[in-house]
Amino acid sequence: MTDQSTATDRPGGVPADPSAVRDALVEWYEADHRSYPWRETTDPYEILVSEVMSQQTQLDRVVDAWEDFLDRWPTAAALAAADRSAVVGFWTSHSLGYNNRAKYLHEAAGQIIEDYDGEWPRDPDGLSELMGVGPYTANAVASFAFNNGNSVVDTNVKRVLYRAFDVPDDDSAFEAAASALMPEGQSRVWNNAVMELGGVACEKTPDCDGAECPWREWCSAYETGDFTAPDVPTQPEFEGSRRQMRGRVISALKEYDELPLDKLGPRVRVDYAPSGEYGREWLRGLLDDLADDGLVAVDETDDALVARLKR
């Protein structure tokens, strides 16, 4: 049997030793991620504006509005000095949802200038004192501006944790699992990375292989093919798919140190036949894909090709 030190051996929770899981996600995120301008700043005002705007608007649509807003009111002081009707008018003209958020953002800017002398609170508790800033937004600003937040738990993160580690659909369970996973002192990169995972690889209809999800090796949904989640009540089409077969390869190789192709094949498809349609050539194609993703290795011995998980 393989070393299962990184397996999910605590029911409804994260791996007992999450270091490999953490490293894989951060490396995946840092290698390539969607580019948004607010990810290139640590200015708490700019980040707060992006967080408030994105509450009901797709991120790609937020970019232009965010840039226009900052062109007009580049600092908290400039926003605080603005006429509230102008801020609300901007919100409406850019179709950013409820106008109350524009009012709250304007008032929060006033608090920063009048109550905090222009100095931003640096932790979630302090940021929560600002008008219209709830726990999630306060934590996001603390994380992305000051690298001083807790683990962010939004709908995307819940979906990831539910699928990957069988975390129960319970807010306290999600928070505990997210906290256990986040490396200490790295809230900025971690929260960006785990939200990116939910937004790119683990959407309602997952793209595990296309997005090269870094958690496939540990993911319960990838192994079982059950991609339901709290916000995905019906399972996306999966039965018989290539993604399902790749998940079965990973599942089988987690049970054994290594397997020759002709012993691995029947564990992936019951109709595996070495020279058939679903035979060695077909299986080798799956393994080559997984090898390209850094998940498996195929070694040539004197007698056969042998597949193993890449550690």
Residue labelled with tokens 């079965």: 248
Domains of the chain: 18-33+151-224 (1.10.1670.10), 43-146 (1.10.340.30), 242-309 (1.10.10.10)
Report pLDDT for 9.
Answer: 42
Taking the alpha carbons at both ends of the chain, their separation in whole angstroms is 14
Check 27, 30, 46, 51 and give the catalytic one. Answer: 51
Q: Are 284 and 292 in contact (CB under 8 A)?
A: no
Q: Is 114 a catalytic residue?
A: no
pLDDT per residue of the chain (311 residues) written in tens, 0 to 9: 233 333 334 435 678 889 999 999 999 999 999 999 999 999 999 999 999 999 878 888 899 999 999 999 999 999 999 999 999 999 989 988 888 899 999 999 999 999 999 999 999 999 999 999 999 999 999 999 999 999 999 999 999 999 999 999 999 999 999 999 999 999 999 999 999 999 999 999 999 999 999 999 899 999 888 899 998 876 656 556 777 788 888 888 888 878 888 889 888 887 888 888 888 888 988 888 888 877 888 888 767 788 888 76
Whether the CA torsion 160, 164, 167, 173 is positive or negative: it is negative
Pairing verdict, β 305-309 and 296-300: antiparallel
Residue labelled with tokens 């070393």: 3
Return the amino acid letter for 211. A
Cα distance between residue 196 and residue 157, in whole Å: 9
Cα distance between residue 261 and residue 256, in whole Å: 13
Residue 43: enclosing H or E segment and its boundaries?
A: none
User: What are the E-state strand segments in 200-304?
Assistant: 259-260, 296-300
